[in-house]
Amino acid sequence: MTESNLADAATGARGGAASAPASRIRLMVSDVDGTLVNKAKEVTPVTVEAVRRLHAAGIAFAAVSARPPRGMKLMVEALNVDLFGGFNGGSILRRDFSIVEEHFVSPDAVRAGIAMMKPRGASIWVFADNEWFITDPGNPYVAGETRTVAFQPTVVDDFGDHLNRAGKIVFSSTDFDMLAQSEPELQALVGAGATARRSQAKYLDMTPPGTDKGHAVRAFARHYGVSLDEVAVIGDMPNDLPMFEVGGLAIAMGNGAPEVKERAHFVTLTNEENGVADAIDRFVLPRAPRG
């Protein structure tokens, strides 16, 4: 079956952009949750082997996530990545966790966001100073997030001075509609002080201003000396769309949100079906540099 036929069967052409998919790829950038890892938050052996095939073909690999950098340690080790980004691109780090770039949410934006979202019933999580601070350990999502980031939150009565050095603020709620409705309002409120986007239906994140996953892709491309039209990107949620706007080849996960699939050149399998490995073999490796 030709790639075109595969695209029609699994996937479909990119609906939200006029550009054709890149013909040559030298770097692949992946989202993590819902993409690179399965529901158990594992990088499967199938994915590890696929990334090794990428490297053997001369294609670099990097990852960016809404997670705090500390919560990406297992992924970094499993895939031996040289460069990765946390907080939706607010922090860029090397494999040894030394910092390339680090940005913070404006303290004024932090306080304004909390003042808006707390009365709406959102739980507030503050990621700062390499820790995760919460005031409500009974929140239904704390246990799952602990498994995801692989470290325990610190329970506090007050966030105090940590609000001045926040890499990410998360507003979590079981009221998904409220979070969706709040997203544009929150962005309008905080303006240039933060980027406000949902990373999952249950999470509305504030991350450093001017930094998103598109910013991370640009940073990775500079590091590897690769032009943006030679970058393949893959993700599943709306906060991955800034990657789609800058990469030369955009791939959506089979479990991705409808708006993400609409903006992709191709759609791969789900994260429970090793969708990243499938995308590597079907869409990226055929575009490996030759000679």
What percentage of the chain has pLDDT greater than the value 90? Answer: 91
How confident is the model at residue 291, as a pLDDT?
A: 62
- Structure tokens belonging to residue 147: 């498994």
Q: Facing residues of 249 across strands?
A: 232
CATH of domain 3-102+212-287: 3.40.50.1000
Nearest alpha carbon to residue 125 among 115, 112, 139? 139
Q: Examine the pLDDT at 182 and tell me if it is beyond 60.
A: yes
CATH of domain 107-207: 3.30.1240.10
Per-domain residue ranges of the chain: 3-102+212-287, 107-207
Over residues 45-84, the pLDDT tens digits come to 999 999 999 999 999 999 999 999 999 999 999 999 999 9
11 to 247, 253, 261, 281: CA distances (angstroms): 18, 10, 8, 15
